[in-house]
Amino acid sequence: MTLMEEIALRQSARFGLLVLGCLAAVIYAAVFCYRGPSVAKTVVKSVPLLSFAGAGLVSFANPFVVGALFMSAVGDIALSRDGERPFLVGLVAFALAHVLYILHFWGLAGGITGAFEVPMLPVLVILFALSTEWWLAPYTGDMRWPVRVYVVLIAVMGLLALGLPGMILATLGAFAFLASDTILSIQLFRMEAGSRWQVPASVALWVLYAGGQFAILAGAGWQKPLF
Instruction: Return the pLDDT at 81.
Output: 86
Burial level of 194, CB count in 10 A (0-12/13-18/19+)?
A: exposed
Residue spans per domain, the chain: 3-216
* Cβ 9 vs Cβ 1: under 8 Å: yes
- What's the confidence (pLDDT) of residue 116? 80
C-alpha distances out from residue 105 to 64, 70, 89, Å: 9, 17, 24
Per-residue pLDDT tens digits for 75-122:
999 988 888 788 889 999 999 999 999 999 999 998 888 778 778 999
Q: So what's the pLDDT on residue 147?
A: 93
Tell me, what's the pLDDT at 5?
Answer: 85
pLDDT one-digit tens code per residue, 120-171: 999 999 999 999 999 999 999 988 999 999 999 999 999 999 999 889 999 9
Q: How far apart are CA 105 and CA 96, in angstroms?
A: 14
Q: 74-84 burial, b for 16+ CB within 10 Å, e for fewer?
A: bbbbbbbeeee
Whether the per-residue pLDDT at 1 is higher than 80: the answer is: no
Between residues 175 and 119, the one the model is more confident about: 175
Q: Which residues, including other chains, have CB under 8 Å from residue 202's CB and lie 6 or more apart? A: 33, 34, 187
| Per-residue model confidence as pLDDT tens digits over 197-215 | 999 999 999 999 999 999 9
Q: What is the pLDDT of residue 3?
A: 83
Contact at 8 Å (CB) between 157 and 98? yes
